[in-house]
């Protein structure tokens, strides 16, 4: 329950606990610890379904499991897994997901576009306009000298 799933195997295998408390309760604890150590929400949900009576009847255990499940859902490994599946850097996926959540966009899917490439015409156009402005200013100065 405190992110130390590896301790469960040691506790269960001890002679006092292992022999005295064998049964579905211990199996439920082992299944939850296994799911947590593998960081698998699927295994976690399977354990909850298979051991519903042992895990949901006790309100204290149920509350701790709810907290553990929420923590497992929010772990950054989920973003890393998504990034791995779509073959993009994790930080890029995390930024995009955050942006979509804040903008309340997306219909259950994530669409990531590559950064747009800057067009070479834009800087060239700005340079041309700047040069034309210099020419116009120069012509204005010459025409002012001629008129004076």
The token pair at 44 is 């976690």
In a domain, 1, yes or no: no
Q: What is the pLDDT of residues 90-144, one digit of tens each?
A: 888 888 877 877 777 766 665 666 667 777 888 889 999 999 999 999 999 999 8
Q: State the total domains in the chain.
A: 3
Task: Give the whole-angstrom CA distance, residue 53 versus residue 130.
Answer: 77
What's the pTM?
0.47
Same domain, 11 and 56: yes
Same domain, 36 and 69: yes
Domain range for 63:
6-74
Same domain, 27 and 67: yes
Same domain, 81 and 61: no
Task: Give the whole-angstrom CA distance, residue 52 versus residue 50.
Answer: 6
Q: What is the pLDDT of residues 4-29, one digit of tens each?
A: 555 666 666 666 655 666 778 878 88
């Amino acid at each position: 329950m405190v992110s130390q799933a590896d301790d469960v195997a040691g506790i269960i295998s001890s002679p006092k606990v292992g022999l005295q408390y064998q049964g579905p309760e211990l199996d439920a604890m082992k299944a939850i610890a296994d799911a947590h150590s593998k960081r698998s929400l699927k295994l976690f949900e399977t354990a909850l379904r298979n051991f519903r009576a042992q895990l949901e009847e006790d309100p204290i255990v149920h509350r701790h499991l709810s907290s553990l499940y929420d923590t497992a859902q929010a772990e950054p490994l989920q973003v890393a897994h998504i990034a791995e599946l779509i073959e993009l850097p994790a930080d890029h996926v995390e930024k995009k997901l955050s942006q979509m959540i804040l903008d309340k966009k997306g219909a259950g899917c994530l669409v990531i576009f590559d950064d747009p490439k800057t067009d070479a015409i834009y800087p060239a156009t700005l340079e041309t306009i700047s040069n034309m402005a210099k020419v116009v200013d120069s012509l204005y100065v010459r025409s002012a000298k001629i008129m004076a």
